[in-house]
Amino acid sequence: MTPFGAKIRQLRRERGITLKEMAAALDVTSAYLSALEHGKRGRPTWFMVQRIIAFFNVIWDEAEELQRLAEISDPRVVVDTAGLDPKATELANLLADKIAGLSEASLTQLLHDLRSAAAHDGA
């Protein structure tokens, strides 16, 4: 599941809306919406994100959060390390190989560490 998919599922459940009801309102199939929630579809288009924001009638911070989550929710990421330090290639390959077996606690820690390193390095 992607961060965007988890958020729209949370919003649906909080409001008591079924997948079928939301899909009908957005004029998409239930299968598409389910795949979007489960990360089996690519990142949603800007237009689809706007339709979802309008569907849930969210504004300001919550709308911005949905847009931000959509931007970081591509389930099929490609990392180009050509021309970078060899450690970058090793890191990308190790992550690709091991990510499926990492616990939630390990994922949380790695995200924290990477965000801290990026902020420190100005990336």
Instruction: Count CA atoms closer than 13 A to 115's CA, side-chain side.
Output: 6
Tell me how far apart the terminal alpha carbons of the chain are, to the nearest angstrom: 26
Residue 90: Cβ within 10 Å count = 11
Same domain, 8 and 51: yes
Average pLDDT over residues 3-8: 95
Determine contact, residues 1/69, Cβ cutoff 8 Å.
no
- How far apart CA 5 and CA 36 sit, in angstroms, is 6
- How far apart CA 22 and CA 46 sit, in angstroms, is 18
pLDDT, averaged across the chain: 94
Same domain, 53 and 100: no
50 pLDDT above the threshold of 70: yes
Summarised one tens digit per residue, pLDDT across range 54-84 is 999 998 999 999 999 999 998 888 999 999 9
The conformation of residue 80, written as its DSSP 8-state character, comes to: -
Tokens of 95: 């992550």
Between 50-54, 72-76, 88-92, 100-104, the lowest mean confidence (pLDDT) is in 72-76
Summarised one tens digit per residue, pLDDT across range 9-25 is 999 999 999 999 999 99
- How far apart CA 44 and CA 92 sit, in angstroms, is 24
Same domain, 10 and 58: yes
Percent above pLDDT 90 for the chain = 89
The model's confidence at residue 51, banded by pLDDT at 50, 70 and 90, is: very high
The conformation of residue 43, written as its DSSP 8-state character, comes to: P
In a domain, 23, yes or no: yes
In a domain, 79, yes or no: no
123 pLDDT above the threshold of 70: no
